[in-house]
Every structure is written in C-alpha cells, then in structure tokens.
Structure 1
Amino acid sequence: MSVTAGSVAPAAPRADPPGPERFTEARVERIIRLVVALGCAVLGAQSFLNAIGSTQEDAAWHIALMVGTFAPLALMILALVTGVWARAASGACAVALLVVFACWPLATRGIASSPHEQPWIWYLINVACAAAVVAFSLPVQIAWATIAPLTYAVVRLAQVGTADEEMISVVLDAVFAMILAGLIIALAWLLRSMGRSVDQARGAAVESYAAAAAADAAESERIAVAALMHDSVLAALIAAERATTPREEALAVAMAREALTRLANAEQDAREGSDETVPAASLAGDIERAAAEAGLELQVASHVSDDAPPVPGRVARAVVLAASQALANAAQHATGRGVTVTLAADARALAVRVADAGTGFVPAEVAHDRLGIRGSIVARMAAAGGRGRVQTGRTGTTVLLDWEYPS
C-alpha cells in the first residue's frame, strides 16, 4: 500500500509577498511545501520504478502517460524546493495527474490485470491531492481529495471488471487513498491556522505595545508641556499684576495670549505639526513675529549661506519656540533693552543668538520650579537634538541656540 505525501494545507495560500505581519504563516507555508516536495519525490520515485517495467498498458500509451505524469511532477518538485512558481506548477501537476487517471482505461483496453496488483498510477493519487493542497483553495482541495480517488476507482473497475472480489479490492484502495488525502488536508489546515493565529497574536501584541508607548510618550509630553505652561501662565500673571504703563500692559496681553495658545496645544497629540523641512532663512521671519507678540520691534540679522540645507520642521519649531522664550524673558526681565537676534546657517549647522542689554541674573538663584530657561530653552533644544546655552552677566544676557545637520 502507498504511504502518502507529507502534510499540506487547506486554505489557499495567498499570493501576496510575506511581510512582518505574516512571518510565521510564511514560514509554515514554506515548511509545508518542502514536506510536500519530499513526499511527492518519494512517491514519484516509487511510481516511476513500477512504471518502467509495467506491462499493464499499451506501449504507445505507456510512453505518453509517463511523460504526462513525471514531467509535471518533476517541475512541481523543483518549484516547491526553489519557491518559484510553486502554486502554478502544483496546480498544473494536479490537473495533469487527473488527466492521466482519466486516460488509463484507453491505455489498458484489452489488457488483463489482477485486482490485487496495483498499477503504478496508484502511488500518484495522494500526490495529486498534495499538489492540489499547495495550489488551490480549501473547497477545491476537498473536491480534489474526493475526485482523485473516485477517478482511480472508476478507471480500475473499467480495467479489472466489477466482480465482487475486484470491486471490494478497488473500493478499499480508493477509500484508503481518500482517508490519506483527508489527513493531508487536515494537517495542513491545522498548521496554517496555527501560523495565522500566531501572526495575529503577535500583530495584536505589537499594536498594543505601540499604542501603550504612544500613550506614554504623549503623557510624558503633556507633563513636560504642563510644566512649561505653568511657568508661562505664572509669568503672564505676574506681568499683568505689575503692568503700570500701556507698553507693559501690551506685553502682559501678548504673554497671556501665548500662554493660552500653548495651553490649547498641550491638549493635542505630541506629534502635532508637520515635520516637513523648511528653509533656514524662513526662521528669521518666525522669530520676528514672535518678538512682535512679545512687544519687541526688531529685525533678525540673517546670515544664511547658499549651501545651507533645509531644516526639519520639528527642529525649526523647537528653535523658534526657544528663541521666543528668550525674547519673552528679555522683554520681561530686561524691559527689552538692546535686544538683538542673529540667525546663521551653513552646510553644517544652524545657530540663533538672542542677546539683551539688561542687568543679567544669577543662574544659581533661579527657583527650581521656574522652567522658562531649563524647560522652554535648554530642554526643548535638547529634545530636538540641539543645544541651548545661556550666558549672563551685568552687561546683559545672551541665549545661544545651536543645531548641527546630521552628517
């Protein structure tokens, strides 16, 4: 009796290339095809050795049947091993074997045969079923597992007759082949289902982890921004309380507007805004508008070389916001005296210098809950991959913002 080819599967293999979301399923499919190739090679070799010396069919038909059987079978085994056109080759082999079975009565017409002597096509029944499992969808696989054994039973009965002894022997062979074909389909379906389930579970885990990481990042960002907002709101309230002149009142209004805007933005996602690159020279205009909102009328001295690459949007926003904070500090603590802004950019780096002619301050005496410099300038530039520095003394304060282009 024949030993069936290894396990193959049910649900039709998908034609799309395997990606990260189908890692296990693709590996299972590859293993199934290799096992099918090995099993079909063993059964094909057994059938070929029996076919060489076969006398059950006409000589002319014998050559035609062998070519129609073993040429597609060899191509299928090669395709399964290499992974090239595996489904197409398997489908062609499955169809070719059914055609060979159907031609068997014509090839054996008038030639007597014992029902107990199995012909060489017997070994190919489960090869046809295994090929169908690789090539077709589950319903077609089931149909093939039924049609192939039944076709064999019909053509054998046409050859050996329908006497009780012959019929029992042929029917038992067909039922046995059908059971083995069902086992092939069941094993492959189970393996494919397990692979698909593993991929789905992994995908769900990765998605859950990504969502948790995004939520954690957003929460961290909101905490940091909340600290910045606290400092901005507090500064705006102090400025409003101390305002005694129209200029100071306008400054307080501008600071309050900025604080409210940033409070609104704090409720948005951490990835707010496009990261599309912007020309380095455009930062000058953004900084001038920020200065105007702080009540300062100034013009940024821009020195941008022609070979200066564009700046990522995330970096541009960080530099402009850090410069805005420096301008707000200059307007509040230095009353806007001698405020100058310089922007320089070349092929290697971007630098912004904000200076005032105030009385300066002592960094060690700044309260720890004041985040105007630590958070809005130093931490913000560090988060963008740059550096923020503050130099202060009796002659004024200078804020240096530097960012280097990736090499």
Structure 2
Amino acid sequence: MAAPHVPTGEEAIAQAWNQVLPRRAAAVALERGFTTARIERVLQVALALASTLLGAQAVGAALASDLGPPLRTALVGMVFASLAAMIVACLVGRWARSASAVFAFLLPLALAVLGALPAPSYEPDGGPWIFFLLSVAPAAAAITFPTAWQFLWVVVVPVLYAYIRLSRGAFAPESWIAATYDLSLALIIGTTIVALVWMFRSLASGVDAARSAAIAEYSRAASADAAEQERVEVAALMHDSVLAALIAAGRARSAREHHLAVSMAREALTRLANAESDEPEGSDAPVTSSWIRSELQAQARALGLDLVVEESQPPMSGIPGRVARALVLAATQAIANAIQHADGRGLAVRLSARSGRVQIVVVDAGTGLDLAAIPADRLGIRASIFARVTAVGGRAEIDSDGGGTVVTIAWPSKDAPQSMQGVTP
C-alpha cells in the first residue's frame, strides 16, 4: 500500500500558512515574518511622508540662501536628489533600504564639506537649510542600519550641524545658545524616532514568534492526526481484507465456509489493488441513506449471505461519501463477525437516517462476547469498527451477553466537531 505523503517541517508550516494567508503573503511570512514585513512597510511610508514635508521646507530655505561656490551647489543638489530617491523608493516599496542607506551616508558627508566651505553671504535667520533634514537622517538610519549604528547617526549628524552653527557665528555666546538649542532638539527627536522604530519592530517580532509557534504546533498536530488516520486505515485494511480472509480460510470446514473465505479473499485483493490509487476510498461526493443500505446488502452477498437491510423512510440525503463508506465498512465487519462467530443466527440489520443523523444496528443471536477479554492484537473490533467510525466523527457501541450481540453505529456523535455534522436532512 502506498503511504500518503505527510508533510513535516518547513513544508508543513508553509501549507499551514497558506490556509490562513494568501499565497504571496504566506511566502513573505515564512521569509521575514508577516507582521514584521507589514511594520517595515508602514515605517517606510511614514519616512517618505515626513521626508517630503521636511524636504520641502529645506528646499525653500536652500533656495533663499546664497549657494555660492559650485561645490556647494553640487552638494545641495546631491542631498536633495538622494532625498527624492529615498522618498520614491519608500513609497513604492522597492529598494527602500538601499536608497535610505545612500541618504544616511550622504547627509553627514555633505555636512562636513559644507562646514569646511566659506559661509554663504546670505542665510535665513533659522540657520543653515540642512537643519530641516536633521530628523530625517536618524529615521533613514533606522530603516537601514542595526540599532547601535542608528544611535551613532542620532549623535554624529546633530554634532556636525552644531559645529557649523558655532563656526559661522565665530563661537560667540549667542551662537552657543542657538547651537545648543538645535543640538538638544535634534538629539531628542532622533532618539525618539530610533526608540519608536525599535519598539515597533520588537512588537512585530513577538507577534511573528507567537504566530510561528502556533503554526508549528498546528503542523505537528496535523502530522500526528494524519499519521493516526493512516494507522487506523492500514490496521482496518489489514484486518478487514487480509487477516480476516486468512482466518476464515484456516477455519473453513463446510462448503459455505469455503465460499465465505473465497469471497473475503477476493475482497482483500480488490482493496489492496485499490490502495495504490490516488483515491483508494472513492469520491467524497454526498450520498443518500439508500446507498448505504444497498452497499450493506452487496457486502453481505459477497460474504455469502442474502441479507435484507431494514431502512426507515424517507431516505436521507447529503451524507458525505467518506462517512458513508466508513459506516458501511464498520457495519460489514460487524456482519462478518456475526457470520463467523454466531453462524449468522438471528442476524438482522436496521438502518435509521433522519434529522441529520445516521444509525446502523447489527443484531445477532449468538453466544455473545466479552470485550475486555479480547486480546490487544485482535483488530476486528478496535480498528475496523471503533477506530474507523470515530475517525469520521461517529461513535460505536457494543452490547453483548449470552443471548446475543447488538452493535450500534451512529454518526455524527454528540461531541463530534461541527465540521463533521454538515448533513442535509
């Protein structure tokens, strides 16, 4: 029998993500973390909007000043070109980290060069135009660099700017007041930006870690459930189709018992052959309770017994095909047990289906059985009846004494998951 593929590890986690997120979002979630990716996108857009506002003020201040030497003009153009590139990259979500890194490196370089050049003949009262970009530099660094480097940009850029203010004011007392005020303001704003970015990223990482743990736990549970389902199916198949046929053949004494053994062997070969197909148990299309009755009678004929299954009227529709087949196979095992151990005495099968519930009762008048005394390696009742019915959300009960045995198979059970109870009455 070809064992079904049970995904594990990254494959199982990827399948689990695809159940709760679109395929593209699931790929992002596995690569970087879903919440982290969303937070990074929000930070990029916020940086673009703030940079646009501050950059517009800086452009106005720069145009109002006397740029002077061509080198100063080139540096100003380079700063605003890199700023514009960063804004566009952050808005479109492509190359945002690279563009932010270029601007973050270029701004302190421009500050150093501008500080070494002669002061322009005219400058606005608010100081050098580059003041408006002091808060953009640490924000760009926060998008690109590790936390330690971010704080380096928070300190270095304002200090360079303060030196320019002092040098152009000939280090006069009033220059110290203006420079200290600008430096303090830039340090406070820069530190706040870096702290907020770090906090948002930490929260996003925590959410992603919790989600990943939940998805991993789900994948492990799904794998364990799939393995258990496979174990039940293999155990039931081996007993129903192979072990039962061998036992019947070994105990056959009369012509009727030989015929029963041959029928069971033929059924075993058919089911083993079908086990290699993609859908060994057939389609899951809904069926009616009449289909269950017909299948039970056909299974009984294959066991050498002409059995009439009593069915309540009218028939019920909408029973999932997988559920119907499990009920038929479990009831067939109960019929086979009655034939094998009670010689079919008093055998009767009743089918009741109404109000979204299905019940099959198999009765015989044999000597009964003791469930507690059945060895653990005997799978006829445990795997072929109890486990098979439980696997589809049903329940099975056996009431046996010296006067016979009653096997009751019901679906769905009262405590079955809601997803197993979708039946059209």
State the TM-score, normalized to the length of structure 1.
0.58
Unaligned runs of 5+ in 2: 1-22, 111-116, 121-127, 129-134, 147-200, 413-419
Q: Partner amino acid for 1:46?
A: Q
Q: Which whole-Å CA distance do the structure 2 matches of 1:327 and 1:213 have between them?
A: 35
Q: Partner amino acid for 1:406?
A: Q
Contact 2:47/2:139 (8 A) holds in 1: no
Instruction: Report whether the alignment pairs 1:291 with 2:300.
Output: yes
Correspondence for 1:34? 46
Q: Partner amino acid for 1:302?
A: E
Correspondence for 1:340? 348
Q: 1:201 to 1:293 in 2, by over 3 A?
A: farther
Correspondence for 2:371? 363
Correspondence for 1:331? 339
Correspondence for 1:311? 319
Instruction: Report whether the alignment pairs 1:46 with 2:57.
Output: yes
2:88 to 125, 132, 143: 132
Q: 1:253 to 1:271 in 2, by over 3 A?
A: closer
Mapping for residues 371-386 of structure 1, pairs under 5 Å: 371-386=379-394
Partner of 1:379, secondary structure, is helix
Correspondence for 2:291? 282
Partner of 1:281, secondary structure, is helix
Deviation, structure 1 residue 393: 3.3
Partner of 2:286, secondary structure, is coil
Q: Partner amino acid for 2:68?
A: P
Q: 1:204 to 1:293 in 2, by over 3 A?
A: farther
Q: 1:222 to 1:269 in 2, by over 3 A?
A: farther
Unaligned runs of 5+ in 1: 1-15, 57-111, 154-163, 168-172, 174-179
Q: Which whole-Å CA distance do the structure 2 matches of 1:257 and 1:45 have between them?
A: 85
Deviates more, 1:200-209 or 1:381-390: 200-209
Instruction: Report whether the alignment pairs 1:115 with 2:68.
Output: yes
Deviation, structure 1 residue 123: 8.0
Q: Partner amino acid for 1:238?
A: I
Q: Partner amino acid for 2:298?
A: R
Correspondence for 1:250? 259
Deviation, structure 1 residue 396: 2.9
Offset from partner CA, 1:34-68 (integer Å, 9 cap, x none) = 23323433x146348x56xx995xxxxxxxxxxxx
Q: Which whole-Å CA distance do the structure 1 matches of 2:372 and 2:220 have between them?
A: 38
Deviation, structure 1 residue 338: 3.4
Offset from partner CA, 1:16-48 (integer Å, 9 cap, x none) = 98557344322211122223323433x146348
Deviation, structure 1 residue 239: 1.6
Deviation, structure 1 residue 204: 10
Deviation, structure 1 residue 387: 1.2
Deviation, structure 1 residue 182: 11
1:25 to 37, 40, 45: 37
Q: Which whole-Å CA distance do the structure 2 matches of 1:23 and 1:239 have between them?
A: 61
Partner of 1:301, secondary structure, is strand
Offset from partner CA, 1:166-193 (integer Å, 9 cap, x none) = 99xxxxx9xxxxxx999988875679xx
Contact 2:363/2:407 (8 A) holds in 1: yes
Q: Partner amino acid for 1:344?
A: S
RMSD over equivalenced CA pairs, Å: 5.3
Contact 2:51/2:87 (8 A) holds in 1: no
Q: Which whole-Å CA distance do the structure 2 matches of 1:230 and 1:18 have between them?
A: 43
* Identical-pair percentage: 35
Deviation, structure 1 residue 401: 0.7
Q: Partner amino acid for 2:253?
A: T
Contact 1:47/1:121 (8 A) holds in 2: no
Q: Partner amino acid for 2:365?
A: A
Q: Partner amino acid for 2:369?
A: F
Q: Which whole-Å CA distance do the structure 2 matches of 1:261 and 1:209 have between them?
A: 38
Offset from partner CA, 1:238-259 (integer Å, 9 cap, x none) = 3212223332111111222334
Q: Which whole-Å CA distance do the structure 2 matches of 1:17 and 1:225 have between them?
A: 35
Contact 2:351/2:360 (8 A) holds in 1: yes
Q: Which whole-Å CA distance do the structure 1 matches of 2:37 and 2:280 have between them?
A: 34
Partner of 2:312, secondary structure, is strand
Deviation, structure 1 residue 284: 1.4
